[in-house]
Amino acid sequence: MIECIYTNPPCFSQTIKKEKAFEIDILGVEGRKNLQKANDELGLALDEADFDYYYDFFLNKIQKNPTDVELFDLAQSNSEHSRHWFFRGELYVNGEKRPESLFKSIQDTQKYSNKNNVIAFCDNSSAITGFESEYLVSTNPTKTAALSKKSLKRHIIYTAETHNFPTGVCPFPGAATGTGGRIRDVHATGRGAHEIAGIAGYSIGNLNLNNYPQSYEPKWDYPNNFATPAKILIEASNGASDYGNKFGEPVIAGFTRSFGMQLPNSKRYEYVKPIMFSAGIGSIDSNSIKKAEAKKGQLVAKVGGPVYRIGVGGGAASSVQVQGDQKNELDFGAVQRGDPEMEQKLHRVIRGCIELGDKNPILSIHDQGAGGNGNVLKEIVEGKNGGAIIKADTFDLGDPTVSIRELWGAEYQESDAILIDPLLVDELKSISSREKCRVNIVGEVTGDNRIIVKNYINELPEHPVDLDLTKLSERESKVFHLRSDVINALSLELPPTLTVKEALNQVLRLPTVGSKRYLTNKVDRSVTGLIAQQQCVGPLHTPVADDVKCSGNWMWAAKVDGEGGKLVQACDAMCTVMKTLGIAVDGGKDSLSMAARCKNNEIICSPGTLVVSTYAPCTDIQKVVTPDFKIPDEAPTVIVYVSMANPRQRYRLGGSALAQCYSQLGNEFPDMDSPEYFKKAFNVVQKIIQEELIFSGHDVSDGGIITALLEMAFAGNCEIHASITSQAGTLETLFAEELGIILEVSHKNLGHLLAICDENDILVQKIGEVVQIYGKDASIIINVNGNCVIDCSLNELRNIWEETSDRLELLQTAENCVKTQIEWRSKVCITNYVASFDFNIDNNFLTKSPKIAILREEGSNGDREMAAAFISVGFEAFDITMTDLANDGNFDQFRGIAFVGGFSFADVLGSAKGWAATINFNEKICKMFETFKNRKDTFSLGICNGCQLMALINWIGDSNVSKGKVFLDDNDCGRFHSGFCSVKIQKSPAIMLQGMEDSILGVWTSHGEGKFTYDSAETEQYLEKQNLRCIRYCDNSGHLTNLYPANPNGSSSAVAGICSSDGRHLAMMPHPDRSFLTWQWPNYPKALKLSHSNFTPWIKMFKNAYEWCIEGRQ
C-alpha cells in the first residue's frame, strides 16, 4: 500500500484540455508574419534558409496552408539534428567553395580500406563482416520453449551518438534517454539486431568542487537553463548507468574530459554545453541485414511504450545555434524521459522476431527519436512505392489529453516503427503479449508516396498531416559561408622551479587524467556474460583499460562565426590520415550547436571535438593485452617504450594536461608526423602481440609517459624503477603526450622484441623494470637523464590520482564507504584463489538432459547467461516467463528452476517485490510454486534479483525462518555497485556447493539491494548454527570481510548466499553465471587454468546440480 498526505483538497478531474489542430495562414497577405509567429510560439527554431524554404514550399509548390502539426513535424524531422544539413551542405570557407561536401569526403575513405562493411552510411548502425559461431536461441519465442545452440553467421555492428542538449538541461533523463535511443539504434538495424555492450563518454566544464579548489578552475557564470558541470557529470553518469543497468547492457569503455579556459584571443572555451556520448556494439544475423522497401499493402506498426507529452520539440531545440536563445520552458519540455523496463521488453520483442528466422515478421524497422512519429513513420514508408495512411485513434495514449500535434511530434521513448508482413501479424502479437509489450497497427502502406494522418474521431481537420513525400525530398542542399578564427598561440611558460612531484600533484587530479572509479563502480560491466574485457584490470580493478572500421562523431559550434572553418580543417585532416592508414569511416553523427549563452550574455563555445571509435573483428578473445603490469614468475620484467609518431622522438607539451593545469595551451602540439610510420609501428606491435612476447601494454595519452607508467603500476599494484634518457628537459620528457606505447616484456623475450622493432626501423627504448614488491611496500622510482625526479610510495601517488574520483564519490556514495574504499586500496594485494577440486567437464558423461526452467519476469536480464551455464553441464534449459505461467504453464516437467538476475519491474517499491507479488497474490501460481518447492526431486538457484525473490517468497532457510524474516536491503554505499569480488565457500547442506568447501573464488557482483538483513538476532543466529549461510565475501587473504568494496553491500558476517535446510534451494547475490568461463574474469589466474578447457571452478556448481538430478538424489 502507498500512503500520501494531501495538503490541499484533491481534485481528480482533468483540467488540461486537448489542443485542436489549426492552420497557419501562409497563403494570405500576412503569410510571412504568420509563419514567423508560428516559429516563435511553437519553438520551431527555423533558420533563415528554413524559413524561406517552407514559406515557398507551402505558398508556391503545394499551394496550401500548413497545419500546426505539419509545420511542427517538418521543423523536427528536417532539423539539423535529423538531416545533418551542414555535413551534406555546400560550404564556402574564407570565401572559397569547397569542392565537395564533408559527408562525401568522409565517405571517400571507404575507397582506401578493406571492403569488409556489410552496412555503411545507410542505416541506424554500421556493420562489418563477422563470424560463424554457435548462439543460444529460443526454439519458439512465442511460448515456453527450449533454448538451443544454433550455428549462425552474425556480423558486428556499431553505432554512436550524442545527447548533449537534453543532458545539459536535465542531466539524468537526458543521459538516460541518450543511452536508450542508442540501444534502439542498435536493435533497429536491418530487420532487427542484437545489442551487446555500451560505451559512455562525458565532456564537461570545470568542476569547481566544494572545498577542492584547483588553480586552473576559475569561477565563471553559467546559463540558467543548464546544470553545473559537476552536477552534469554525476547525474548524467547516474542516468546512463541506471538505464543500462536496468536494461541489462554492460558499459565497458568510455572517456571523461573536463575543460574550461580563456584562450590568448580572450575567448572562453568550455564544455558549458556538455557532451554526453553513447555508443554501442552489437551483432546482426546475416539474413537480417537488408531492410525491405515499402510496398503497398504492408502494415505499419508501433511497438513499445504509449504516447506521452514528453520530449516535444527536441529535434529543433537541440539544433538551436546557441543554446539559451529559446524560452526555458521550451528547453525543459524538449527533454525526454526514459523507461528502461519498457525498452527491455521492446528489445525482447525484436529478438523474438529475429529468432523466428525465415518467419521474422519485421520487414523494416526504425527507432523513434528526434521528431517522434512524424519522423519515424515518414522514414519507414519512404521510397518509390511508399506512403501511408496513419490513423491517430489506433495509438495507445498514456495521457488522454495528448493533442494530435503532440502525438505526431512528441519524442516519447522506447518506441519503434516497423513494417510488417500482414500474414505474420499473429506471430508479432504473440511475442509482444508474452513480453507484455504493446503493439499498435497504426496504418498501411498506400504506394502513392503521400503521408496522411487521420485525426482523432470527431476532430478537425480530418487530415492534420497530408504531405507529398516526393516533393519533401526535393529540397536542395543548404549553403554555409564559413571562416576560421586564427588563435595566436603563445609559447608555454611553466614556473621555472616546477618539480615533477608538484606537476604530478596537479596533473593526476585533473578529471581527464585521474581515476574514473566513481564511474565504473556504479555501472554493470558483466551482464550478459559476453564481456571478455572491460575497463577495470588488476587486483584493485583499476579503471585504466582503453584498447578496423571507424565511427566519427563531431561535436562543434560550427555555425558560430569563426568556428565552422575549423571543423572543415579537422575533417580534412582526419580524412587524409584515414586514407593513408587504410582505415575507413563507415558512420557517425554530428552535434553542431555546441554553444551556450551565459547569464552575462556571453556566448561560450564548447571545444571542437571529434570522437573516433574503432571496431574490428577479434579472432581470439583470449589474446588480450591489458594495461596492468603483471610481473609473472620471470620477475623482474622489463618496460619498453615504442614511439608511434616518428622515428625521431619529439617532446611537445602543447595542449597537454600539464599545460591545462597551468591554464595555457602552448604553441607546439603533438602530431602524427608520419602516418606511414604509425601504420608500420602499429603492425609491428600487432606482430609482437601475436607472438605472445609481452605481458601488458598501455598507450601514452593524457598526462604523458609518466602517467602511463603510473597507471600500469597502480593497476598492477606493484613497484617500478624507470630510467629514461632524453634529448629534452625533464618535464617535456615525462608530460609530453606524443603518440607512443608502453610494453612489459620478460628479459628472455626482450632481445627478440628489440630485433623486430629494429628490423622495421621502429624507435624503441628500454626505460625500466617492474619489481615484485606490492601494495603498501611498493615504490615508484623514476630517473631522467641520470637524475632521480620521483621516489615516492605507490600508495601516495595513487591516492593523488584517485582523489578527484573520491571527491566525486562523496556526491553519490555514503561517506563511510568512500573512506573504507580508500583504506581497502591501501591494503589490497594479489588474491590467492583456491579451488582444490576437479572442475573438468567430460562431455561423454553428459548422457541425459534434465530440464531446468530459466524463469524471468519483465525487467529480468540475466536469463541467457544463466541458461548457458546450465546447458554447458548437460541440462536442457527452457525460457519461461511469468506470463507463460499465468497462461496455463506449469513446472511439472522440470527438475530445477533458475530465478535470474536483473531488475524485475525496474525494482519499483523495492527489489523483486513486484515479482514476488505476482506469485504471492495469484492463488494458482502460488500453489504451483509451493508444489515445486516441496517436491523432493527438485532444486532451485536464485541469483541477484532471483535471490531477492527467493527471500521474499520464503525459499531459503526452513520452517523456522518464516516469510519476512530474511530480506535484502539497500547496499550500505547507497547505490548500485558493480565489482569483481572474492568469496569463500562454506560448509553447508547446499547441493550445488558440495565438494567446493573452503574454496576462494573471484565472482562478479552487480546490485543495489544486496545486504542480507534479518528480523532479529535470533533468526541470524539460527541460520548460522544450521550452516545455511553458505557463501561469504572475503578479502585478498581469504579472511571474511565487511569492508567496502570487498563486501559490496555491507551484509553482516560477510554473507553472500543462503540455502534451504535440505540444501535443495540456493539464493546468492554474486553471479557465477557470469563467471564460469575463464575469459569472463578480469584477470584469470594461471594456477587455475585447465589446459583443455575454458571453464572456471564455478562450473562445479552447475555440474553438481546435474549429477544430483542424474543420480536421483533427494
H helices, E strands: number in the chain: 33, 44
Q: Give CA–CA dist 240/179, Å, rounded.
A: 6
Q: Is residue 475 classed as helix, strand or coil in its secondary structure?
A: coil
Contacts of 679 (CB under 8 A, 6+ apart): 580, 581, 582
Q: Give CA–CA dist 311/447, Å, rounded.
A: 31
Grid coordinates representing 1016 are 532479529
Q: What is the DSSP string of 1087-1113?
A: GG--TT--B-TTHHHHHHHHHHHHHT-
Name the catalytic one among 84, 416, 1071, 1109. 1071
Q: Give CA–CA dist 288/1084, Å, rounded.
A: 36
Q: Is residue 819 classed as helix, strand or coil in its secondary structure?
A: helix
Give the distance, in angstroms, between the CA of residue 758 and the centroid of all CA atoms in the same chain: 40
Give the distance, in angstroms, between the CA of residue 113 and the centroid of all CA atoms in the same chain: 28
Q: Tell me whether residue 977 is one of the annotated catalytic residues.
A: no
Q: Tell me whether residue 73 is one of the annotated catalytic residues.
A: no
Q: Give CA–CA dist 44/71, Å, rounded.
A: 8
Q: Give CA–CA dist 283/962, Å, rounded.
A: 46
CB 1095 within 8 A of CB 1080: no
Q: Tell me whether residue 1073 is one of the annotated catalytic residues.
A: yes
Name the catalytic one among 571, 944, 973, 1059. 944
CB 247 within 8 A of CB 860: no
Q: Is residue 46 classed as helix, strand or coil in its secondary structure?
A: coil
For 40, the enclosing helix (H) or strand (E) is helix 31-42
Angle at 313 between CA 311 and CA 319, to 5 degrees: 115
Contacts of 940 (CB under 8 A, 6+ apart): 896, 897, 898, 899, 932, 933, 950, 955, 1064, 1065, 1066
Q: Is residue 154 classed as helix, strand or coil in its secondary structure?
A: strand
CB 877 within 8 A of CB 854: yes
Q: Which of 1106, 1102, 511, 390 is nearest to 808 (CA)?
A: 511
Alpha helices for 971-1050 (secondary structure H): 1017-1025
Q: What is the DSSP string of 264-293?
A: TTS-EEETTS-EEEEEEEEEEEGGGSSPPP
For 519, the enclosing helix (H) or strand (E) is helix 517-520
Looking at residue 541, what DSSP letter applies? Answer: T
Q: What is the CA radius of gyration of the chain?
A: 30
Grid coordinates representing 957 are 532457510
Q: Please state, in angstroms and as integers, the Cα–Cα distance from residue 549 to each residue in 198, 523, 580, 605, following that order.
A: 17, 27, 14, 30
CB 863 within 8 A of CB 900: yes
**Which residues are bridge partners to 834 per DSSP?**
1000
Name the catalytic one among 367, 817, 1073, 1109. 1073
- What are the residue numbers of the active site? 944, 1071, 1073
